């Protein structure tokens, strides 16, 4: 594990008290997957449990799949933060 993840784990061990539980959880999940030698599928993301639950609730309320809900949430955030313009979206993304 002589890569970026290993360096992040070593840094985390040195500054454990300054990290949030979510940051520690994400690092540990990545390390566990690496140890299991199970690469992430291309174009996928691992959501924190709380985020997954929120996305699932949003999806249920709007009769969407989780993927559609996550895309809608990220598009709303991107537009509100100025990272994405409505004109940049395809018709099927709106």
pLDDT in tens, 62-90: 999 888 899 899 999 988 988 888 776 66
Give the range of the structural domain holding residue 78, as residue numbers without chain letter.
49-93
Task: Report yes or no on 43 lying in a domain.
Answer: no
Look at residue 17 and tell me whether its pLDDT is greater than 60. yes
Instruction: Give the whole-angstrom CA distance, residue 61 versus residue 64.
Output: 8
How many structural domains does the chain have?
Answer: 2
Residues 75 and 53 in one domain: yes
pLDDT tens-digit profile of 24-45?
A: 888 888 787 777 766 666 677 7
61 and 29 in a single domain? The answer is no
Q: How far apart are CA 48 and CA 26, in angstroms?
A: 8
Is residue 22 within 8 Å of 29, Cβ to Cβ?
no
In a domain, 70, yes or no: yes
Question: What pTM was computed for the model?
Answer: 0.50
62 shares a domain with 86? yes
**Which DSSP category does 83 fall into?**
S
Give yes or no: residues 54 and 30 share one domain: no
Q: Are residues 53 and 86 in the same domain?
A: yes
Residues 23 and 57 in one domain: no
């Amino acid at each position: 594990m002589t890569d970026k993840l290993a360096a992040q784990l070593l840094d985390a061990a040195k500054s454990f008290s300054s990290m949030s539980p979510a940051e520690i959880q994400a690092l540990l999940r990545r390390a566990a997957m690496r140890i299991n030698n199970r690469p992430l599928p291309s174009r996928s993301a691992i959501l924190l449990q709380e985020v997954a639950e929120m996305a699932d609730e949003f999806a249920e309320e709007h009769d969407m799949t989780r993927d559609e809900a996550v895309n809608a949430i990220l598009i709303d955030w991107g537009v509100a933060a100025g990272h994405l313009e409505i004109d940049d979206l395809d018709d099927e993304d709106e």
